[in-house]
Amino acid sequence: MNLDNCPRCGKLFAKNFRDVCPVCIREIDNEYQICADYLRKYKGAIISELSDQTGVSIKQITKFIREGRISMVNAPNMSYACESCGIPIRESHICETCRLRLLKDKTQMLQNAAKKVEEAEKLTATKAAYKGLSGYKDR
Ligand SMILES: [Zn+2]
Ligand SMILES: [Zn+2]
């Protein structure tokens, strides 16, 4: 049996296909039910309102959305925070601005790496040329 501490309540539990203990699974299911009920009644709810009214943390609601348990299709005003800058988004983990910025950072990093290799190669070439020259002088 694979024992582990539940990341939600800290209690020791036998690991299963879910990553939290059975007690927390039941609590999370319960929280999901409350959220789903609220959204059925108030389709236009936003995430902070849902959290305030149900007592379920925004973090947990975000998880429900990411897991696909809470459908954004039926909740047109529902959104969650971009992991990078925090602005409300409705799909993926980060907003479009952050996605482009990260993409640019990555390209920049690759370019810098390529430049370093190029410089190192140039340096080797210069050294080789110098060596060739001094070899010539010694003769
Ligand atoms: Zn637990
Ligand atoms: Zn962002």
Residue 72 shares a structural domain with residue 4: yes
Are 10 and 75 members of one domain? yes
Q: Whose atoms come closest to the Cα of 8: which ligand? A: 1
Determine, yes or no, domain membership for 104.
Answer: yes
What total of structural domains would you count in the chain?
2
The pTM for the full model equals 0.70
For residue 26, how far is its CA from the centre of ligand 1 (angstroms)? 9
Reported as a single tens digit per residue, the pLDDT across 53-110 is: 999 999 999 999 988 899 888 889 999 999 999 999 998 889 999 999 999 999 999 9
pLDDT band at 133 (very low <50, low <70, confident <90, very high): low
Ligand nearest the Cα atom of residue 82: 2
Same structural domain, 76 and 102: no
Tell me, yes or no, whether 69 and 102 share the same domain. no
Whether residue 64 contacts residue 78, with contact meaning beta carbons closer than 8 Å, is answered with no
Using the 3D structure, point to which of 81, 108, 125 is the last residue of a domain. 81
In a domain, 116, yes or no: yes
Ligand whose nearest atom lies closest to the CA of 16? 1
Is residue 75 domain-shared with residue 106, that is, in the same domain?
A: no
Do 58 and 117 have their domain in common? no
* Domain extent at residue 128: 96-139
What's the 51 CA to ligand 1 centre distance in angstroms? 21
74 and 128 in a single domain? The answer is no
Given a cut of 70, whether residue 137 has pLDDT beyond it is: no
86 belongs to a structural domain: no
